[in-house]
Amino acid sequence: MATGKRAAARPARRFRPDILGLAVAITLLALAWGYLVYTAIGFGGSARDGESRAWLFLGLATLGAVACLFAGLILAVRLLHRLADGPAPLDQDDSPQRPHRH
> pLDDT tens digits, residue range 44-97?
999 999 999 999 999 999 999 999 999 999 999 999 999 988 765 555 555 566
The 3-state secondary structure of the chain reads: CCCCCCCCCCCCCCCCHHHHHHHHHHHHHHHHHHHHHHHHHHHHHHHHCCCCHHHHHHHHHHHHHHHHHHHHHHHHHHHHHHHHHCCCCCCCCCCCCCCCCC
pLDDT band at 7 (very low <50, low <70, confident <90, very high): confident
pLDDT of 22 higher than 90? yes
> pLDDT tens digits, residue range 24-40?
999 999 999 999 999 99
What's the confidence (pLDDT) of residue 32?
98
What's the confidence (pLDDT) of residue 44?
95
What's the confidence (pLDDT) of residue 34?
97
